[in-house]
Structure 1
Amino acid sequence: MSEVREEHGGSRSSGKLVDVVLDEASIARSTPDVEHDRAVAIYDLIEENQFQPVGQPSANYVLHLSVVEKRLVFEIRLENGEQVVTHVLSLSPLRKIVKDYDMICQSYYEAIRTATPRQIEAIDMGRRGVHNEGSTILMERLDGKVNVDMQTARRLFTLVYALHWKG
């Protein structure tokens, strides 16, 4: 990982996402749990993020996300709607981790209904570990395209998960 992307303070200015727009034509609704994760991730992402397209000035950005032919399309615009750049990422490198994350999420949601607090905590720790792994892969896929910190990558991974498994 690039040290610049991991930086949380200092004098370096950074862009920020002020909105995330999901393409309803390519992103179908999913389960209530996934929809909840999507809404929370978008809310958290907007509240606090570091999102700086490489080679672009520090600014407020709007991210339009869609899924086209098993590829994730990051259409980045300025707050005024002006197109900045579009990046198309293959979802193939994330396929296994998203599948693993889906399985552990299903276990977690079932555990919430029936398991002991200790069992829920153990499953949740595993879920967070897989989530971090997916976030790291996403950061690597964005390297050289968009600089993000780990928290932003985590929130983006939650969205990728919700978009990839579109029900």
Structure 2
Amino acid sequence: MSEFDGDASAARSDDPEDPDSPDSRNAMDEAAYRWSMPRIPEGVIASRQRVRDAMLAWGEPEERTETAVLLVSELVTNSVRYSARSATVRCCLRRTCSRITIQVWDAGGDGVPSQRRPPACETDPDGGPRVDLSERGRGLLIVTALAADWGTSQEAGGRLVWADL
């Protein structure tokens, strides 16, 4: 998965065959930032700051920036918590003229998360509204609510989770 090779915070390839090469696309139409970090909680904080800095550099509106920051926070947190085999988490923030894509790769764990969409109304067995006060297990529901689309795949010996704005 060459997209995640290297640890540069703003990576561009000089290879004309690489789709990220400035020679193979209009630099104004697409930009990408890539980074890697150890699979530790502090990586979530660093990822939020990288996304905020990139979005600011691209001139993205504050609301869209905050949505991207929250999405990367949820995706990287899941990698930190659930990818027992991964020592490193690799990320890519890509901007095209019409969307922002966030990608998070890790070595995987127990399966690939599913795209669960909450039912219109969840109720407890007694018929009352479901109230879930737990502080865990809602990350992908947040991703579902905020992202235009998101998904997962097994790639390059690991798991890739992506979200589009």
TM-score by length of 2: 0.30
Q: If each structure's helix is expressed as a fraction of its own residues, which one has the higher value?
A: 1
Structure 1 or 2, whichever has the larger Rg, is 2
Higher relative contact order (CA 8 A, sep 6+): 1
TM-score by length of 1: 0.30
